[in-house]
Structure 1
């Protein structure tokens, strides 16, 4: 009979090879040696069959008398299996989203180029698979692809041949043949999308029923759609008022100058990162282990800059590279930087308080003494912790010396609250991509390019945009309940959260506080729909 650890090891080993690549940096995964992407129709069917096998094995596990830690991990693995079904059969990215195949081809190359010392042999291996993968793309997308997603992909691939020529010249001329072929193949794929677009399907929302199943089964959330919208609108109003008060307070304070260049910005960040770590310790907020490496900003490599649109230009390391620093690559400071780059160029702590927390939280989670928690990811706790940390640092006084940085943090709060409403309304069909773009431009406000990128991404991946605010809301309740317990202190609570930061908060409430309310609420709703607590 299976044991829980053996089942988890088998599942995560399979997932490392089968998990699709996305543009998000949180779900990046360490692939097996000699791994190659395969999204042929046969490979998709094999994923379905293997998922069914894992589901049957999971159902056979009996943890009814097990310690709470094991029961948490049993439910966590159910969530991970539900995510596979969500990806394959509900979102069906492999047959609806043309950008999916950009991610599984040159997107995989992009990720291999993010470590400071890229493994060029692995880059070659993936480059050689691109013709076959794009051939499978045409087969899988035929009759199913969505026009709006295709248009976004066509725009992104407008100069792909030139971009990959630049990558080859800056990285290693010996890669020129493979990169040239990849550029030609991706350009041909773009041209095929242009031809096919008039007959493609409109965007179809996943719908309320499927979205609510995602909330319960994948994210382990106790909230209804109406509750999510109420959270969004209340937090948006709060952020608008706080930002207005802060702007009024600072109306005569000049903005801080931009750094001279990205190298100078990196030096500022290095000092700021240490000051933030000292701040955590001095104020008894979060432990900073001696073996925890650092988060660094580096100038954008010339070989990465042409394809920076493929994802987040950082390397948060991984479970096998805990002895390495996390890095983020920056463009040169300028007056027309995109929204988030502009914020952190003025004050590196604005970036450290969020992206730097991702590095720390993941590095700590990858050290978790319980292996099954090292591999699981869910953006609700991950993004929730980082977003919670922004306001934690604001309240604790980190930004007392930086008036306009306080405005930025409040503006971030406004954006993250809005994302919930956009996400939910896109998912249930109350908003389309153009409406979401206009909503972001008006309400944040945000530049058109960033708003379009976010709206298209959120329409393609329902359930992701809301994670920041929903996770923070859960964490605030978690910490508040902990603070009402005698003997609890903030450092201990935060240390537990960061170390287990890949795990849904509803499960952590049960383990750390003995409160099963959110877990039971999510599973009770699932029971009413399915008649059981199994997948």
Structure 2
């Protein structure tokens, strides 16, 4: 039996090494991984065929584990086996259902230029390996653009091509600024190599933008995964038992509740002035350092979540000049990696101004509003990366991670963190309003009830939200069904687990510690709550429902 568990760990380690070397670049901050030396994204048909063959081999080896012998092992080992299965299903979902590598121009822009952005995210100094990576990535841009255009000629989606073209406006000049600012922090040889590679890279990106603008009208209509494929994702990747319609109904209920709560709070404190914007990005960063210490102390004094002294810090910093021009390429923070879990994480903030985007505007008035979400990510990832069970150190699906962070937002509001800041209370209610609307948008995009422009308009009217942020969010979600809904759906999953654990303890007359349960959830924050319920509560009801949906490889959807 021990040998079986060891074999599973070995297979998992091999899979995750392969995954980190071959998976696509993402603009999201949670799934980012540390890449091997010399890595560049591959999205040419030959590489995709190789990925499919490797996935088939991993799947066959995973399926070869004897079900009877697995059932005799401890629950935590069985959970690990199912986690690896979900990771394999996600790889199929990305390669053969979403197929963003040939459909989505925004995604392909991310593959072409995103690695440059990612290499710049960790704060300086730029060590030699990172300098070499910057040169390699910049030199590869022209050939990557050629491959992106070839893929989109075959299968590109019109709406996403238009969004990508807008993202790339003035990209030659913006890249030149980024390169010049980054080169100033490198050695002379690297700076010369970057300047030599920049013109061709900038010309290629301008050519890509021009091609998108002139070709968008002849590309295909939006690629809708459909209800059946979306439900397959819920059952086999996210490990969620609810039907799509149930998720929308629950979100509509949360939306109404958050609208009323926000209205009541704003009405009660209508005569109090709002907190002013931070005076500068530097001042905002100093405010955040003090606020993070306050939040940590609040967790401890409220007995909600352990804050060991060894836990790294979550910091704000002014956006560097080499990142600002390319901020559209991803979440502007560096949350680290499994091998960098002891390094402080950094979130880059823009200069405070009246027209800041939605989340930046909130942070500029009260840094705690960012700490209770992105700061929760930082802590959850740090704890999960150190999980004694290696299979649980890796991202599987956003519903678990984003669910914990959104749960934490409401937890901090309810527990009284913002008692001194009534308008921040209103903002948290508005966050909850946004998260609920995301579910409605996500499911409607997946089923075809919304077009991309309709989804943007829905966000702008209902949150309300600025058009820039709404367009950025919706463009990403239309190509990644399940991400937009992950915040609220995941929060509901965490709340259900916590509530059921507390009620079970009450019925049994047993002691119950919210802190201890939260510690376990954060430490296992990459694990879907359906599996965590099984391990922590002994409740395999969700697992049985998921099993009834069949094996994921028997009839996998195709895009």
Match of 2:137 among 126, 129, 136: 126
Residue 531 (structure 1) shift:
8.7
Q: Which residue in the other structure is 2:527 paired with?
A: 503
1:58 aligns with 2:69: no
2: CA distance, partners of 1:123 / 1:169: 12
1:237 aligns with 2:256: yes
1: CA distance, partners of 2:134 / 2:152: 26
Q: Go from structure 1 to structure 2 and tell me whether the alpha carbon gap of 1:337 and 1:46 turns closer, same or farther (over 3 Å shift).
A: same
Give the 3-state SS of the residue equivalent to 1:105 in structure 2. Answer: helix
2: CA distance, partners of 1:225 / 1:197: 31
1:188 aligns with 2:203: no
Match of 1:276 among 295, 299, 305: 295
Residue 132 (structure 1) shift:
2.3
Residue 65 (structure 1) shift:
1.6
1:514 aligns with 2:538: yes
1: CA distance, partners of 2:21 / 2:138: 17
Residue 526 (structure 1) shift:
3.3
2: CA distance, partners of 1:474 / 1:168: 44
Residue 259 (structure 1) shift:
1.3
Summarize deviations over 1:71-102 as a string: whole Å, max 9, x none: 10111111101111110111001111112221
1: CA distance, partners of 2:397 / 2:92: 15
Q: Which residue in the other structure is 1:102 paired with?
A: 109
2: CA distance, partners of 1:529 / 1:110: 36
Q: Which residue in the other structure is 1:15 paired with?
A: 19
2: CA distance, partners of 1:376 / 1:259: 34
Give the 3-state SS of the residue equivalent to 2:346 in structure 1. Answer: strand
Residue 198 (structure 1) shift:
2.4
Residue 516 (structure 1) shift:
0.9
Q: Which residue in the other structure is 2:549 paired with?
A: 525
1: CA distance, partners of 2:433 / 2:107: 30
1:384 aligns with 2:403: yes
Residue 32 (structure 1) shift:
1.0
Contact 1:99 1:153 in 2 (8 A): yes
Contact 1:235 1:417 in 2 (8 A): yes
Q: Go from structure 1 to structure 2 and tell me whether the alpha carbon gap of 1:527 and 1:167 turns closer, same or farther (over 3 Å shift).
A: closer
2: CA distance, partners of 1:65 / 1:112: 45
Match of 2:424 among 405, 414, 421: 405
Summarize deviations over 1:351-408 as a string: whole Å, max 9, x none: 1000111111101111111111112331101000110001111111100010000000
Residue 120 (structure 1) shift:
1.5
Q: TM-score, normalised by structure 2?
A: 0.93
Give the 3-state SS of the residue equivalent to 2:71 in structure 1. Answer: coil
Q: Which residue in the other structure is 2:160 paired with?
A: 149
Contact 1:354 1:390 in 2 (8 A): yes
Q: Which residue in the other structure is 1:165 paired with?
A: 176
Contact 1:295 1:325 in 2 (8 A): yes
Describe how 1:53-452 pairs up with structure 2 within 5 A: 53-62=57-66, 63-117=70-124, 118=126, 119-172=130-183, 173-174=191-192, 175-452=194-471
Give the 3-state SS of the residue equivalent to 1:320 in structure 2. Answer: helix
2: CA distance, partners of 1:297 / 1:376: 24
Contact 1:154 1:194 in 2 (8 A): yes
2: CA distance, partners of 1:392 / 1:401: 16
Summarize deviations over 1:280-304 as a string: whole Å, max 9, x none: 1111110112211100000110111
Stretches of structure 1 that go unaligned for 5 or more consecutive residues are: none
Q: How many residues align?
A: 532
Q: TM-score, normalised by structure 1?
A: 0.97
Match of 1:45 among 43, 49, 56: 49
| Backbone CA RMSD of aligned residues | 1.6
Contact 1:146 1:201 in 2 (8 A): yes
Residue 179 (structure 1) shift:
2.7
1: CA distance, partners of 2:511 / 2:199: 63
Greater mean deviation of Cα atoms: 99-108 or 383-392: 99-108
Greater mean deviation of Cα atoms: 426-435 or 211-220: 426-435
2: CA distance, partners of 1:198 / 1:127: 30
Greater mean deviation of Cα atoms: 125-134 or 60-69: 125-134
2: CA distance, partners of 1:207 / 1:259: 45
Greater mean deviation of Cα atoms: 35-44 or 255-264: 35-44
Q: Which residue in the other structure is 2:186 paired with?
A: none
Residue 529 (structure 1) shift:
11
